[in-house]
Structure 1
Amino acid sequence: MLSFSQSAIVRGVILDEGNTPIENVNIKASTGEGTATNSNGFYELKIPFGVEVTVVFTHISHERVEQKFNLKNGQELEFNPIMLLEVEQISTVVINTNTRLKTEGVTSISPQMLRTIKGAQPGVENILKTLPGVNVSNELSTQYSVRGGNFDENLVYVNEIEVYRPFLIRSGNQEGLSFVNTDLVHNVDFSAGGFQAKYGDKLSSVLDITYRNPVDFGIRADLSLLGGSLAAETISKDGKFSGIAGVRYRDNSLLLNSLETEGNVEPVFADAQTFLTYRFSSKFHLNFLGNISLNKYNFQPENRQTNFGTLTDPVALLVFYEGQEKDQYQTYFGALKANYFVNEDLTLKLIGSAYHTTEQEYFDILAQYRLGEVNTNIGDENLGEVEFSEGIGSQLTHARNDLDAFIVNAEHRGDYKIDEETTIEWSAKYTNEDIRDRLVEYEIIDSAGFSIRPPRFSQPNYQPYESFSGPLNAFENIRALNRITINRFQAFGQYSKNTDWNGHEVFYNAGIRAHSWSVSGEGVSGKTQTVFSPRAQFAIKPNWEKDVLFRVAGGLYYQPPFYRELRDSTGTVKPNVKAQQSYHVVLGHEQSFEIWDRPFKLVIEGYYKGLTDVNPYTLENVRVRYSANNNAKAYAYGLDFRLNGEFVPGTESWFSFGYLKTEENIDNRGYIARPTDQRLKFGALFQDYVPNMPDLKMYLNLVYNTGVPGGSPSYADPYDYQIRLRDYRRADLGISYQIVNPERTYDAKWKKSVKELSLGFEIYNMFDNQNSITNTWVRDVYSKSQYAIPNYLTPRVFNLRLSARF
């Protein structure tokens, strides 16, 4: 037998797809030698030289890895395998429920669900809208609000790197693709409130994405009538280098051509994204995350007819358009992340990232409208047409908006394990934001032949009863040129511990964040402001026969203003806008049980938010416009339920329900509903298959939201406009047949070369509900009142999809 003095050494670190070390991996050589990984995933194994040795890596919850070695005497080889999570369920949808996520109040979503459950805007946000407390009321948009917050109050991370959205987005039509490419995703964690200090300074939620490290070569392709995607992944033979890359292309013409406004539309969005990892040694790893996104939206509207009112008093708006809109958004993002594993207990990280966006919104559109009574005589050749006009007018909108933003981040993060149950985490981060913004917008409104003056203009106008000799003014006229620099310093420290208390499992977490920032620029000078945000979580799993868990979380949350929050409705930057402040209290209860001998879980959360120094805003489609002051206070409270489990054997589905109330008090005038005051929410994600043909599957994505406030005309007092939109009801159905199932073997040669192949048919808005996102306000010349005319979203649309994996 060979002695260890004449041997070779294999060493390395074993990680999962999310780049997390795996402890207690059993490592066994065919010649009898063996070892196991430590808490940081490190191992070292001595094997005989000059012979072929098979080494097997096994773990109770991960798939087996086997590798052959034939080394020279004294040779040392680094081998860093990545172990896949072993899933025993048949289902393509898996909700991870490990202890850490349960105690932190985090919902974890399998990437298979993201790629399987389709919608008009597929991706992470398509799944989030089925969760309680999350509102997505525009299927053309990837923006979402959480528990009464707006679209700007949500954090998004990819592999601990914060990512950004475009600034100038005003409607989902122009928005483009979500940053997150689902073909690259390993895991999705989502917290709707009460999140830890290690996450940044926002008021509502955290979406924490992990991209995967490949374990083999593979290609994934997806093609539909709305576009397609292609992703490829690979890993080197020695396991040191791995990379995954994806390209996506989307053309929303199929959806936009179904809207009421007819015309020529060219909405083309594309991006390329990559995540690369190089392991210089078992202690030092380097990651690169890159993204290039190109979005173009060209639109030449021609006409629109919207019917509304009641059966007894139908009204129609008929609009004829001239002009066009040309929008373009280009974003470039790159980040480097270095991980240094000092020893078994200490890990140090250094992250550097840069984000550059150039955006333009150019449009000149003349809209001439007629508002009147509709012919309701069945059989009449003019049925449905406007017979008598109550309002006639025109509107000219113009914009030449350009924005160039460059954001640079440098951050150090670290974590130290005091023992197996106790961890300390910390971070220090610097951010520089360079914003160059030109805002030129005006709107001219003519009603019944008379120019409508700005509603806040001091000189009265009594037309048509008295002549008016004053100068003509546009209804809205905004011109601003801003060049702003924002410097930010952020830091946090956090302590986490798992322990046992009288036989009960206990987890608690406490931390504090500090955020200091200053705003400067041409003609702008702001003072330095600093806020501190203490946060804590506590969870207990009683030693009961029932599998239950109770948790409480809360703290003081601040949202220091981003550029958009500093700019008021006239385009003026106010550098001394304070951070909005909110204290959160979240109470949670989880219980796992069995029904019909199948697993289920019920999650209940109640929450309360008290907000001060609120920066009031209005919503125009998905465009947020702030007043840029802190003259309001607000509150939000609600109750969320979610039941998930195997309603159909071998599949995972869930049903959710949420109640929310959020109001604000502006200048002590009394409380009114906030723009995101969505009272009731019901969501469902349901899967099924044909018992005798399990490859034929059905996916249903169902959402019902009660209506939110519909907004108000430009410059109007929100206290005078509290009318709500109609309820949002939407059901998206997908039916797919798996031609090639990866769990089966086939005789046909072409099927052997394909790992997975499926063909699908999808129906968006299956019941053809008329949902609206905002109102268009039109003046009636006779009563001088304004009609709120709904802007309807997409009707029923059909789509075909082909997906393959090689």
Structure 2
Amino acid sequence: MKKPNHTLKILAFLFPLFCLAQTGTLKGVILNEFNQPLDAVNIKSDDQGTQSNQNGYYELKIPANTDVKVVFSHISHKNITATFNLKNGESLTFNPVMKEDVEQISTVIINSKKRKDVEGIVNIDPATLIKIPGAQAGVENLLKTLPGVSSNNELSTQYSVRGGNYDENLIYVNGIEVYRPFLIRSGQQEGLSFVNSDLVQNVDFSAGGFQAKYGDKLSSVLDITYRKPFENAVAVDASLLGASVAIETASKDSKFTGIVGLRYRDNSLLVNAKETETNFNPTFVDVQSYLTYQFTDKLEISFLGNASLNKYNYIPLTRQTNFGTLDNPLALIVQYQGQEKDRYQTLFGALSANYDVNDDLSVALVTSTYHTTEEEYFDILAQYALGEVNSNIGDENLGEVEFAEGIGSQLNHGRNDLDALITNVEAKGTYTKDDNEFKFSVKYTNEDIRDRLIEWEVIDSAGFSINPPSSDAFNDQPYTPYEGPLEAFQNVRARNNTTITRIQAYLQWSKRSTIGDHDVWYNAGVRSHSWTVNDEASNQEVSQSVFSPRAQFAIKPNWEKDMLFRISGGLYYQPPFYRELRDQNGVVQSDVKAQKSLHVVLGNDYSFKMWDRPFKLTSEAYYKKLTDVNPYTLENVRIRYRANNNAEAFAYGLDLRLNGEFVPGTESWFSFGYLKTEENINNRGYIARPTDQRLKFAALFQDYVPNIPSMKMYLNLVYNTGLPGGSPSYADPYVFQSRLPDYKRADIGFQFVLVDKDKQFDSGWKKPFKDLSFGFEIFNVFNVQNSITNTWVRDVYSKRQYAIPNYLTPRVFNVRTTMRF
């Protein structure tokens, strides 16, 4: 008998496996119609499949030496089907461009942001950030057009949300919390926002009722994602206010990506247009980078870095402010001596490692360090005269001061230094099982702050020193001789060395499901926050802990009308940051409690078609009940806390926003907000809080100039009713309640597009450009005189005090060019 050939049997057995082992690699970057990366695209071939990442990159192994059909599908885009035949080991790059599915867009309004809608999150197109005109163009400029978001200062990037102050807003960049400077007191000192608009891929914003995964603040969350480039490119933006350059690169296999942004800002154009004549020499420079490297299919390392240097040199010379009435016109004339020199240097670095353990579990380790050194030095003597203005029409001296009623001077001195080092280490993860998603995190923070605060102010009128109103012996010269010791009108001196350690953790659960024919979404979670304040000056160490439960529920009924309903809320805490621990005398109070807010938000989205184009009306009603409130005063953008918890407060309101394609191919919106917020300090009764912005209307409108389709127009319109804050800083708010005038502002920009995605050139000088445009902007189109604070001047003869408005910027023209190549 012939023995069987075992070699042939083994080869016969291994042949199919050998054939299966022969594969090729299909990879590339998936783009949308606007040449932006498209994530969450399903790529499937028989039983093989994958998804594109947030950079649009995908990689799929397919059988070699045979025709393989591959389907690219996305919830809001038309499917793409292609057939490939690769050799064994061959790698092919295929970069498909997916077009929007018109039928699906009709039910999911505004770029199919369905997931964000159920979470109550507003998503903003990154391209809009750069286009919309504003004295401080960028993310914050757009936020101020949303309902519930208020700001009465176009020179500042700070904003308040639904009755909260500037310190109550969370800002994340790529999941890492970022901080704002400590010593800034006026908008013109700020220079640059941390967020670089040239680097942004995604902008999410929540005005309240946000999830447990976000930190412990009382008002809002701004969640920014910087993009991972998929090609080499350079973008330049230049105007009379400064310039920015963004350089991006990606390796051929997309394992390494990097984007670097350099910005320079000069506020001279805006500040020199104000009524105070100055020698103003600002320098605001920063450089940011976001680098990623994909070591394996499971492990990615990323680095986010920022270095900024802001120098603010300010020498005021003269000022004349006319005010009063037609019957009694008055003017304040000021002659200045001295100067202010400020310097803010910030270094920030964050390193993240993301690891996909399996298809259900992904974990990350994030470390970050923030270091800021700030100096604020000033000695400014202001000699003023308050007088009557010539109002005789036709007189050659019309508008000039003829008679001085009050003469005085004011000397301000400051030597403020701050050095803060903040370090964070966080471990977090996401686990999915069936339709359930769990997110969890543990975070350690160490804050080391060294602070010197020396400020004093001396005021005299007609040569006689004015004591502060709080003084037991009020100076009544020249009518009554004064024999007591002289006091500075304001005097603050403090040195602090404070360390704060924090341990934070959260666990949250989300699930999509159905109730009958209706789609529903659940989210519930809890945060814990423990912190210890160690103050060297008082030799005190105080520890406290809080727990913050939060929940959200959304339902999309199976109705003919496209409606979505949401309810969210919870118990929110804000453990004190260093600024909240420091009282009005500059002394740290270690035992300050966390402010607490019971927050409820009811929301509705109604999507519909008008003029055969998509629109959406978003409505939200909210209520906040606040306890353990830490009262504060607000001057321009500087907040000074009382550093105690002797108040309670409430806030409620209604926000409406209608957005859609008012002009085909563009997104515009109109916003309206009503807010009422009051506080009760020491049980003396409820009065308006400093952020009681009662009514707000805003519009962001994009259009094309008729008959010139290459000329685009952008309009940014804001109207806010007046804020409390017209009273003297020393006044008892229960005795002296005054509001600033309403804030009205319109900025408009015109952009002539020479090159864009629809207008490319194969030859000539325009060939290297992917985008190229020129234009001009007009800030404060109607030249409205908005004021941010009042300067209070006392007339020694009549004993009256006059509120002299400190006006913001008048009408200003700017020219601008943007390019990408």
Q: Smaller-chain TM-score range? A: over 0.9
Q: Equivalent residues in 2 for 1:553-702 (5 A)?
A: 553-702=568-717
Find the aligned partners of 1:228 and 1:85 in 2 and give their Cα distance.
33
Q: Does 1:506 align with 2:520?
A: yes
Conserved 8 A contact 1:291-1:332: yes
- Pick aligned residue for 1:464 from 478, 484, 494: 478
1:801 maps to a residue whose letter is R
Q: Equivalent residues in 2 for 1:164-243 (5 A)?
A: 164-243=179-258
2:658 maps to a residue whose letter is L
Residue in 2 that maps onto 1:315: 330
- Pick aligned residue for 1:392 from 388, 407, 412: 407
Relative to structure 1, the CA distance from residue 20 to residue 691 in structure 2 (aligned partners, 3 Å threshold; closer, same or farther) is closer
Query: What per-residue deviation string (whole Å, max 9, x for no partner) do you get for residues 543-570 of structure 1?
Result: 0000001111110010000000000111
Find the aligned partners of 1:95 and 1:474 in 2 and give their Cα distance.
58
Relative to structure 1, the CA distance from residue 81 to residue 64 in structure 2 (aligned partners, 3 Å threshold; closer, same or farther) is farther
- Pick aligned residue for 2:727 from 712, 715, 726: 712
Residue in 1 that maps onto 2:43: 25
TM-score by length of 1: 0.94
- Pick aligned residue for 1:494 from 508, 513, 518: 508
Residue in 2 that maps onto 1:431: 445
1:112 deviates by: 0.7
Residue in 2 that maps onto 1:30: none
Greater Cα offset, 225-234 or 4-13: 4-13
SS in 2 for 1:630: coil
SS in 2 for 1:100: helix
Residue in 2 that maps onto 1:730: 745
Query: What per-residue deviation string (whole Å, max 9, x for no partner) do you get for residues 203-226 of structure 1?
Result: 000000011111111111111111
Runs of 4+ in 1 over 4 A off after TM superposition: 11-21, 38-44, 53-57, 61-73, 79-89, 94-97
- Pick aligned residue for 1:127 from 113, 128, 142: 142
Query: What per-residue deviation string (whole Å, max 9, x for no partner) do you get for residues 86-128 of structure 1?
Result: 5689x9xx95442221111110001011011121110001101
Residue in 2 that maps onto 1:36: 49
Find the aligned partners of 2:664 and 2:27 in 1 and give their Cα distance.
41
SS in 2 for 1:750: coil
Query: What per-residue deviation string (whole Å, max 9, x for no partner) do you get for residues 629-673 of structure 1?
Result: 111111111111100111112221110111111111111111111
Residue in 2 that maps onto 1:443: 457
Relative to structure 1, the CA distance from residue 284 to residue 82 in structure 2 (aligned partners, 3 Å threshold; closer, same or farther) is farther
SS in 1 for 2:306: strand
Conserved 8 A contact 1:259-1:792: yes
Conserved 8 A contact 1:80-1:240: no
1:752 deviates by: 2.2
* Unpaired runs of at least 5, structure 1: 28-32
SS in 2 for 1:183: helix
Find the aligned partners of 2:380 and 2:180 in 1 and give their Cα distance.
27
TM-score by length of 2: 0.92
Q: Does 1:484 align with 2:502?
A: no
Residue in 2 that maps onto 1:98: 113
State the structure with more CA Rg. Answer: 2
Find the aligned partners of 1:714 and 1:337 in 2 and give their Cα distance.
45
Conserved 8 A contact 2:191-2:266: no
Greater Cα offset, 559-568 or 648-657: 648-657
Relative to structure 1, the CA distance from residue 281 to residue 57 in structure 2 (aligned partners, 3 Å threshold; closer, same or farther) is farther
Relative to structure 1, the CA distance from residue 508 to residue 790 in structure 2 (aligned partners, 3 Å threshold; closer, same or farther) is same
Conserved 8 A contact 1:620-1:711: no
1:455 deviates by: 2.1
2:50 maps to a residue whose letter is T
Find the aligned partners of 1:788 and 1:758 in 2 and give their Cα distance.
45
Find the aligned partners of 2:233 and 2:81 in 1 and give their Cα distance.
19
- Pick aligned residue for 2:432 from 417, 420, 424: 417
Query: What per-residue deviation string (whole Å, max 9, x for no partner) do you get for residues 201-253 of structure 1?
Result: 00000000011111111111111111111101111012110111110111110
1:26 deviates by: 3.4
Residue in 1 that maps onto 2:11: none
Q: Does 1:149 align with 2:164?
A: yes
Residue in 1 that maps onto 2:61: 45
SS in 2 for 1:625: strand
Conserved 8 A contact 1:96-1:108: no
Residue in 2 that maps onto 1:755: 770
Conserved 8 A contact 2:50-2:58: yes
Residue in 1 that maps onto 2:468: 454
2:659 maps to a residue whose letter is N
Greater Cα offset, 783-792 or 215-224: 783-792
Conserved 8 A contact 1:325-1:362: yes
2:729 maps to a residue whose letter is S
1:177 maps to a residue whose letter is L
1:187 maps to a residue whose letter is N
- Pick aligned residue for 2:781 from 762, 766, 773: 766
- Pick aligned residue for 1:515 from 505, 521, 529: 529
- Work out the number of aligned pairs and report it: 793
Find the aligned partners of 1:343 and 1:43 in 2 and give their Cα distance.
17
Query: What per-residue deviation string (whole Å, max 9, x for no partner) do you get for residues 377-408 of structure 1?
Result: 11222211222222211000000100000000
Conserved 8 A contact 2:62-2:68: no
1:762 deviates by: 0.5
1:526 deviates by: 3.0
Query: What per-residue deviation string (whole Å, max 9, x for no partner) do you get for residues 134-193 of structure 1?
Result: 112111100000011100000000111101111000001111101111111011000001
Residue in 1 that maps onto 2:267: 252
SS in 2 for 1:565: helix
Conserved 8 A contact 1:269-1:295: yes
Find the aligned partners of 1:594 and 1:761 in 2 and give their Cα distance.
34
Residue in 1 that maps onto 2:346: 331
Find the aligned partners of 2:593 and 2:31 in 1 and give their Cα distance.
42
SS in 2 for 1:564: helix
Find the aligned partners of 1:87 and 1:782 in 2 and give their Cα distance.
73
1:315 deviates by: 1.3
2:529 maps to a residue whose letter is H
SS in 2 for 1:751: coil
Query: What per-residue deviation string (whole Å, max 9, x for no partner) do you get for residues 697-727 of structure 1?
Result: 1100000001001243233212222111111
Find the aligned partners of 1:83 and 1:667 in 2 and give their Cα distance.
65
Find the aligned partners of 2:770 and 2:38 in 1 and give their Cα distance.
27
Conserved 8 A contact 1:711-1:718: no
Residue in 2 that maps onto 1:779: 794
Residue in 1 that maps onto 2:8: none
Greater Cα offset, 524-533 or 712-721: 712-721
SS in 2 for 1:669: coil
Conserved 8 A contact 1:83-1:215: no
1:256 deviates by: 0.5
SS in 2 for 1:527: strand
Query: What per-residue deviation string (whole Å, max 9, x for no partner) do you get for residues 509-531 of structure 1?
Result: 11111000011031331321000
Find the aligned partners of 2:338 and 2:83 in 1 and give their Cα distance.
68
Q: Equivalent residues in 2 for 1:295-314 (5 A)?
A: 295-314=310-329
Q: Does 1:359 align with 2:374?
A: yes
Find the aligned partners of 1:81 and 1:170 in 2 and give their Cα distance.
53
Conserved 8 A contact 2:323-2:804: yes
User: CA RMSD of the aligned region, Å?
Assistant: 2.7
Conserved 8 A contact 2:250-2:257: yes
Find the aligned partners of 1:16 and 1:280 in 2 and give their Cα distance.
24
Find the aligned partners of 1:82 and 1:557 in 2 and give their Cα distance.
45
Find the aligned partners of 1:658 and 1:127 in 2 and give their Cα distance.
15
Identity of aligned residues (%): 65
